[in-house]
Structure 1
Amino acid sequence: MSTTGLRTTCADLAGRSFHLVGVGGAGMSVVALLLAERGAQVSGSDAARGRVLESLRARGVRVEVGHDAHHVPAQATVVVSTAIKEDNPELVVARSRGQEVIHRSQALALAAAGRDFVAVAGAHGKTTTSGMLAQALSEAGQDPSFAVGGVVRALGSGARLGSGRAFVAEADESDRSFLNYAPAIELVTNVEPDHLDSYGSTEAFEQAFADFADRLVPGGVLIACSDDPGALRLARRAGQGGARVITFGTGGPGDLPGGELVGEAHVGVEITARRADSTSAVLRRWTAGPAGAQGTEPVDLELALPGDHVVLDAAGAWAAGLELGVGAQEMARALGAFTGTGRRFEDRGEADGVRVVDDYAHHPTEIEALLRTARGVAADRGGRLLVLFQPHLFSRTRAFAERFGAALGRADLVVVAPVYPAREVAEDFPGVSGLTVAEQVPGGRGQYVADREEAAERLARQARRGDLVLTVGAGDVTELADVVLTRLRAREA
């Protein structure tokens, strides 16, 4: 590729100071670690205590609990996310002093300066795909830098500054912050409408991805999933505009709408075996030739995780690895070592014969894919599938209630907890609650419980030996997995 720029060193940010407001968030904590690794003085604050703050302290980041103007160093560049309101006392004092205020994505771009930026985007699948790519490149000896919105289990972190040329980052479309990057490689898992409270329409959402594709550096490449209609439309548009494009998806190029290559190549993936804890597949790269599309020799892929959606993520990561100079067989072997990221089908324990798994899924398509996989795992155990679901955002709950109900209908029993509001307030969404979703679960299998801990207790009381219990959502539902396990252990005693 012709995208490698001048390298920078960890000392680039020495002498600079950064203060991150809301440093305990998944994206912000990663940026804090990367800035610190590049030699900056880093501090931050968050509204509540938690394991993330303790981990940051252990890595040398000065962290305060609560938001207070006194926490902000006068010389610091203040880093915020879209979730930080203008009346936050730390942001207020920074603006009153005339301090530099930048978005989290801009801070991440600073940390990535001088490397080949690989931006992984999509409404869902980007954490798994970016974590998978980061670990595989590490396994292949490339020592990448990475910033992933979850802990890559085998690497023990969601962020690291490596010595290699690649910087793999999860690129957030929710607030258009992915438009602050200038990637050498863009890997798009899907373009399925979400965050419509911000975008307003499907057309506006897709236009943001088109603008993202336009951010590629000269010689860069867009790698897009052809199984997703929105991503395929993006690939066609980018190709027509002169960008390098590679697609990936199930089947060969003849299976694409129109039956022809979109761009310069297509990575086809065929699943050959599905198991409760692993998946086998075959990968092949197709390019245009005089007699039509020509494929390379097939490459076996053995993943240590279940799920068709995970195989698709791996196909995209494999294509990106080839672009970064890793051999086809070597990249497939490296992907086989991936064991997942935190809160993606993460085992939390087993008690009284009930297995408890936690997952971050918070969009209907993600939940459908998760439950399709979980249904197979539950069947292998000879038990039922029980779900504790916490909707994330009132706006998303209102927009997708019917689709949430249909996706959750794959479970035998669903207990819905109150909506996790994040940046929203309930008063702005009258009539929207967890009940909005529970009523949409078919067959009367949805129950709404207005207290989150009681919701966990109710699900635990109904679980029996052999069952698989999932705690699902992007909020603090992950804490309820421990509530379920505690209840099950008490029943064992």
Structure 2
Amino acid sequence: MYDNYYFIGIGGIGMSAIARYFKHEGKNVSGYDITPSQLTSALEKEGIEVHYEDRPDLIPLNTDNTFVIYTPAIPEDLAELQYVKDKGYAISKRSRALGQITAGKDCLAVSGTHGKTTTSTLLAHILTESGVGCSAFLGGISKNYHSNLLLGDSDALVAEADEYDRSFLQLHPDVAVITYIDADHLDIYGNKQNVVDAFSQFASQIKIGGKLILKEGVDLPLDSIKAKVFRYSFNKPCDFYASDIKPLAEGRFDFCMNYPGGKIEHCTVGVPGWINVENAVAATAVALSYKKINPIRVKNALASFQGVERRMDIRYSDSKKAYVDDYAHHPKEIMSAISSIRNIFPDRKILGIFQPHLYTRTRDFAAEFSQALSGLDSLVMLPIYPARELPITGVFSEMILDKVTINDKTLVQKEDLLEYLSSKDIDVLVTFGAGDIDRFIKPIEDLIKNV
């Protein structure tokens, strides 16, 4: 065991949860990120040293007593990464470190190309509120616990199983759920079949005697899977599904949660949107497949769930205007989000701001993005957020914008966004994206409140 843990890319949502874990374990934790953020500021307040320059001289010198964890999102030519490799530090990707932490625990893994973060956070909340307890490494900041890390005394460990870079193949779950399998991360996988193959391998790694919760309609080869397979659905009868769904105020629903051998009547989820009913079914399926839990406790946990930051996150709402922020960065996520927002705010005009994430994703799904964003009433496109990528010739936000079918659409530079919005008559505003669009959340919220 090491005394020093150093993180390259510490500001990432998954990296920061592991950093917090080792800080809680009494280790010396520090790290680098490219730019300050609300998350890195929180880490610093918790006593974790973070710097924002690529400086190998700030890495702990003791190579024998320092473990380095890095994210594949950082460039290979980063000086700090090259330094730790050259100097012989013990080094691991984030996914491997998470896999090592989950070893010896009852791993409850939440995977899928969409819905992982809300489902895993709901699952952790159900286990916590029901008295089963758990630790959890989440891909977002829980509004109930104000953190992406939960620490409990039980053997249960909830892990968000990320398919990017095949990271989830470091996990060997006791129970796993697969929410969706769509083409994504094609810079890694090349085509959808390779995505399906990776999920199939992940499912085959569920321990003997374990359970797989698979969304109804997801086509996955089951030949190599040792686990017992259950299906879940929003409202199609199967092992776990919602029925008697009735709309309530503010986009919420009353529904009956059906599970093998029983049902929980008059459930509600504490956050709006039909998609969160589906997420609740998935989370409940994992929880009930893991332990026998009092149905009333499940029902109470769903009702008290406050959501996740940047996931259908209603930042402001009154009778005249509203602002919603969402992490959606894939066409299907955007379509689902717009559908839910129209349900929450019926007969309202929706202005969407979208920042494409990655040149490769923009190139690969430009037509699908255009179709999804055409479901808005008005659209503001921002330039592509490159993240780890270099520009690709001919790939710009205009690839999407030009094929959007609504008339009220425009491209705005980030530095001009707030001025542009101040001139608009806003009804419902929503921000979409996985890049640095989150830096605008507070300024937009202030602008909406003061208009």
Matched ranges for 1:256-405 at <5 A: 266-270=239-243, 272-274=245-247, 275-286=249-260, 296-325=262-291, 326-349=293-316, 353-379=320-346, 383-405=348-370
Q: Within 2, Cα distance between the matches of 1:313 and 1:443?
A: 30
Corresponding position of 1:10: none
Counterpart residue type for residue 51 of structure 1: Q
TM-score (norm 2): 0.93
1:366 aligned counterpart, secondary structure: helix
User: CA shift at 1:215, angstroms?
Assistant: 1.1
Aligned partners of 2:204 and 2:226 also within 8 Å: no
Q: CA RMSD in A?
A: 2.0
Aligned partners of 1:37 and 1:161 also within 8 Å: no
Matched ranges for 1:46-445 at <5 A: 46-73=33-60, 74=62, 75-226=65-216, 229=217, 231=218, 233-234=219-220, 237-238=221-222, 241-251=225-235, 253=237, 266-270=239-243, 272-274=245-247, 275-286=249-260, 296-325=262-291, 326-349=293-316, 353-379=320-346, 383-426=348-391, 429-445=392-408
The aligned length equals: 446
Residue 468 (str. 1) matches residue 423 (str. 2): no
User: CA shift at 1:143, angstroms?
Assistant: 2.5
1:344 aligned counterpart, secondary structure: coil
Q: Within 1, Cα distance between the matches of 2:318 and 2:353?
A: 17
Counterpart residue type for residue 434 of structure 1: S
2:296 aligned counterpart, secondary structure: helix
1:303 aligned counterpart, secondary structure: coil
User: CA shift at 1:251, angstroms?
Assistant: 4.0
Counterpart residue type for residue 268 of structure 1: Y
User: CA shift at 1:473, angstroms?
Assistant: 0.6
Corresponding position of 1:458: 420
Change (3 A) 1:191 1:116: same
After superposition, give the CA deviation of every residue in 1:393-447 in whole Å (9 maximum; x if it has no partner).
1111111111111111221101000011111111xx2221111111121132321
Change (3 A) 1:34 1:314: same
Gaps of 5+ in 2: none
After superposition, give the CA deviation of every residue in 1:196-234 in whole Å (9 maximum; x if it has no partner).
1110011101000001011111211111111xx3x3x22
Q: Within 1, Cα distance between the matches of 2:441 and 2:404?
A: 22
Q: Within 1, Cα distance between the matches of 2:358 and 2:244?
A: 35
Q: Within 1, Cα distance between the matches of 2:339 and 2:418?
A: 22
Aligned partners of 2:233 and 2:278 also within 8 Å: yes
Aligned partners of 1:356 and 1:481 also within 8 Å: no
Counterpart residue type for residue 241 of structure 2: G
Aligned partners of 1:19 and 1:44 also within 8 Å: yes
Aligned partners of 2:204 and 2:224 also within 8 Å: no
Corresponding position of 1:256: none
User: CA shift at 1:271, angstroms?
Assistant: 5.3
| Percent identical | 33
Change (3 A) 1:483 1:352: farther
Counterpart residue type for residue 233 of structure 2: G
User: CA shift at 1:454, angstroms?
Assistant: 1.6
